[in-house]
Amino acid sequence: MLGIKYPIIQGGMMWVGRAELAAAVSNAGGLGILTALTQPTPDALRLEIARCREMTDKPFGVNITILPSINPPPYEEYARAAVESGVKIIETAGRSPEQFMPYFKEHGVKVIHKCTSVRHALKAERIGCDAVSVDGFECAGHPGEDDITNLVLLPAAYAKLSIPMVASGGIGNGQQMAAAFALGAEGINMGSRFVATKEAPVHQNMKQAMVDADELQTTLMFRSLNNTVRVFKNPVSSQVVSIEAQAGDTDFKDLQPLVAGVRGRERCIEGGDIDDGVWTVGMVMGLIHDIPSCEELIETMVKDCRETVINRLQGMM
């Protein structure tokens, strides 16, 4: 459906989904994704799409994450920038993309909507999405408020869906890829694992921190705000969790200086101080032991997936 060699998608990630990473994933046979809102304006997104095209002649997509905001970005303009630049695959996340679906359909765009529950996946199917990316509680970023892990969430969604399902959240190796297929997925989506690659545009300290950490090195912020986010456990995120635990009704203004996206980008992602801001990462850190190129990672995963199916699963049968 997407015109790619392997059913492996690099999910959209704020500040990380840039041309360098997306092109590397696409060149390796997966689907690279540019993150629209990483770019400051729709015109900047057009330039980033053009830059990605200079690096790959393979398909790639654009992520548009729709979130509630006092001053929302011009989502429609970002969508038009992507479509008018010839992008044929859009990954949506956050709120429903229903208002954009007629425009996407009119221009032959394939839409993959990221969901954290069965009910949201079924809504995405009803409004015409071509596939859903079902995101388990293990994931980085926003895991939803239901706390359902993929071992239950994936087969529960598969039992009710008629459109293709992509497994997302906590996946980082070929054995998990095989397991996702066994649970009904037709592809996998990875975010954190692609951050720990040579081409990811983040500081080496962040990549090494992911290698050194284990599956216990994440924490959940904003539980009191019903807007849960999984991030790296460090002094800043621990302080946020402590403030939430002490306050009866948390006021986001008390947390804002600690969790500002600009702080995380400048000090952590770009500056390399992994303890001086918040940055999202999933529990899959416990399965990340190296920093390969995107090609090395994808080829290894495909090889291990095939060997798991042929040597282990078929052997057991």
Collect all residues with Cβ–Cβ distance below 8 Å to 56 and sequence separation of at least 6: 22, 23, 26, 27, 32
The predicted structure's pLDDT at residue 248: 67
The predicted structure's pLDDT at residue 250: 79
110-115 and 89-94 beta bridge pairing: parallel
d(CA 281, CA 7): 22
The predicted structure's pLDDT at residue 70: 74
Please tell me whether residue 231 adopts helix, strand or coil conformation.
Answer: strand
The dihedrals phi and psi of 225, each to the nearest 5 degrees, come to: -100, 5
Comparing CA positions, the residue from 234, 224, 228 lying closest to residue 278 is: 234
Could you tell me the domains of the chain? 8-199+293-316 (3.20.20.70), 204-283 (no CATH)
24-35 burial, b if ≥16 CB within 10 A, otherwise e? bbbbbbbbbbbb
Tokens found for residue 172: 């980082």
Cβ burial, residue 198 (10 Å; 0-12/13-18/19+)? middle
pTM above 0.85, yes or no: yes
Residue 283 · residue 218 · CB < 8 Å: yes
Comparing CA positions, the residue from 63, 72, 59, 86 lying closest to residue 17 is: 63
The predicted structure's pLDDT at residue 253: 84
Give me the amino acid identity at 65.
Answer: T
Residue 30 · residue 58 · CB < 8 Å: no
**Local mean pLDDT, 10-residue blocks, the chain (317 residues):** 98 97 98 98 98 98 90 96 98 97 98 98 98 98 96 98 98 98 98 98 98 98 93 97 84 89 94 97 98 98 97 88
d(CA 61, CA 166): 15
The predicted structure's pLDDT at residue 53: 98
d(CA 212, CA 2): 35
